[in-house]
Amino acid sequence: MPGKVKAWSYSRLSTYEICPAKIGYGVVAGIKEPQNAAMARGSDIHKKGENYLAKGGRVPAEYKPLAEEMRALRKLKPVVEGKWCFTKRWKETGWFDRDAWVRLVMDVFARMGTYARIIDFKTGKVRDENMGQLSLYALAVFHRYPDITKVTAELWYVDHGIIRTKDFDRSEMDDLTRDWTKRAKPLLNDMKFVPTPNFLCQWCFFSKEKGGPCKY
């Protein structure tokens, strides 16, 4: 049975897996969570990086730990801030079309023949759990570009000058498609969005302590 949420993204699914109620309040009920300082900083740094890659000039000061890598990346003439959207059958569709099923914002995409690189800029702490994002984005490349056979997916932690990478081969596409479809199913079938109290509740905008609608 279809649930109340019709489309997902990596961030939406990750939030749901931590606490379904956050999606219930923020997406289903439409209660807007205000942008905090960390979110605003992250957005600003993303924009500066994308502007440099698209227009040139000096490497932004925030990217100094990765300045050499940024200069090399710009020479590849990558596509930045790409908004990719797919149907449940992994066919391309419009961002706001009714059959939109999964949405991805690709910070950086560069291809060299049958090989591609994708990069997601990160601010803040280096988190191992972010590595899961890479397989989803590589999968999107394989579905969008049938001639690409290999993808290197990268997380660039701007504050630390750290790059985490993982390589993917087209032979993995079927398994990845099955795994991500299965993983998204609970979110897309949920009708109740029951809260899962955890240590993150103390920072949650929807928590009881912060005057939110959640009982925890």
Band (pLDDT 50/70/90 cuts) for residue 3 is confident
Parse the chain into domains and list their residue ranges.
10-210
Would you state the pLDDT for residue 167? Answer: 98
Question: Would the pLDDT of 99 be above 60?
Answer: yes
| CB 148 within 8 Å of CB 112 | no
What average pLDDT does this structure show over 91-102? 97
The confidence score (pLDDT) of residue 211 equals 93
Mean pLDDT of the chain: 95
Which of 127-136, 150-159, 180-189 shows the lowest mean pLDDT across its residues? Answer: 127-136
pLDDT tens figures, 53-89 = 999 999 999 999 999 999 999 999 999 999 999 999 9
Looking at per-residue pLDDT, the higher value among 1 and 33 belongs to 33
Neighbours of 182 (CB within 10 A): 9
Residue 181 has pLDDT above 70, yes or no: yes
Res 159: pLDDT: 95
H-helix or E-strand spanning residue 18 = helix 10-18
Structure tokens at 121: 């800029």
CA terminus-to-terminus distance, the chain: 29
Q: Considering the entire predicted model, what is its pTM?
A: 0.94
Task: Give the 3-state DSSP-derived string for 114-135, with helices as H, strands as E and coil as C.
Answer: CEEEEEEEECCCCCHHHHHHHH
**Fold of domain 10-210:** Lambda Exonuclease; Chain A (3.90.320)
Cα–Cα distance, 63 to 60 (Å, whole number): 5
Instruction: Report the alpha-carbon distance of residue 99 to residue 155 in Å, rounded.
Output: 29
Q: Kindly state the percentage of the chain with pLDDT values over 90.
A: 94
Over 50: is that where the pLDDT of 1 sits? no
Whether the per-residue pLDDT at 2 is higher than 80: the answer is: no
